[in-house]
Amino acid sequence: MSVDRVRDRLVLLGSKGGPAVRLGGPWPSSSLLELGRRTIVVDCGLGVTRAFVDAGVGLKALDLIFITHLHSDHVLELGPLIHTAWTAGLASPVSVFGPPGTGHYWRRFCQAMEFDIEIRIADEGRPDIRELVSVVEFGEGKVIEDYGLKVTALRVDHPPVTDCFALRFEQGGKSVVFSADTAFFPPLAGFARGADILVHEAMLEQGIERLVAKTGNGARLREHLLASHSFATDAGRIATDAGVKRLVLNHLIPADDPEIGEADWIAAVRKTWSGDLTIARDGLVVGLSCAEAAVGEETA
């Protein structure tokens, strides 16, 4: 196996949609993308720090962080991830890219942690974490083009959140697209055209009523799910129209229903997608070569 194939990979750190964590269940949204010798985190749901380390990457390697939108299951652990990396010895700059409001989150996190930050600088000789981190807020279009890495954003349909963005990462002829949270959104197919991997959120209709009953929000939660998220068949339709090489169903809703298994997700998406397929689970590694299935599983 070549060095590039070892290094260039996607790790699904957290695979469930929504902020709730239940006994024995998966963790909320976060992904690690190692591409062209850059260490990239996409979204920072609860559990991202532990999962990052479990993926075999030292916290001092933290480099670029991208936030698709400011729902808590995508941003709750952004501050703690960076702060924990700092306490582990991080001394190199970290760049955070997110929608409007990301800078406000970071400033308020640092204010909340001011006592700890100040005392560790004085007592332990650490660099000032507030000077290590830069936050760039973005909209549609080019987000960054740096040392061969190009990242672009597309505003998707996730009401009532207006600043929610799909992201496309391109480096050395390889490309990975994250749908972010979105209802069925046909323009996403053009944005993802020809990508090696499309990571698309997915929902199964047969699990919605049980999820709503378990959470207790009733009709309002049901309305939100139906208006703001994509069924697995929708994700398959986008992947087919885009002509991607592999579809990864992620941000699964529901992800912790004992009556729903991987076979149910496969059956749903196969109605609209016949290509290479991966169903997310926490810690799953997906290679960036079109010939590589997820580590530890067969191509579905």
Q: Quick one: three-class SS letters along 223-267?
A: HHHHHHCCEHHHHHHHHHHHCCCEEEEEEEECCCCCCCCHHHHHH
Give the Cβ contact number of residue 197 at 10 Å: 27
Please tell me the predicted confidence (pLDDT) of residue 148: 92
Chunked into runs of 10 residues, the chain (300 residues) has average pLDDT values of 60 95 93 95 98 97 97 98 97 97 98 98 96 98 94 97 98 96 98 98 88 75 88 98 98 91 95 97 88 49
Model's pTM, two decimal places?
A: 0.93
pLDDT number for residue 293: 55
- pLDDT score, position 217: 66
Specify the pLDDT at position 212: 79
277, 300 contact by CB (below 8 A): yes
Q: What pLDDT score was predicted for residue 112? A: 98
Q: Within the chain, where are the H helices?
A: 3-7, 48-54, 72-75, 78-87, 102-112, 114-124, 129-132, 187-191, 208-215, 218-228, 232-242, 262-269
pLDDT at 100: 98
35's tokens:
């591409």
Q: To 10 degrees, what angle do helices 208-215 and 218-228 make?
A: 140
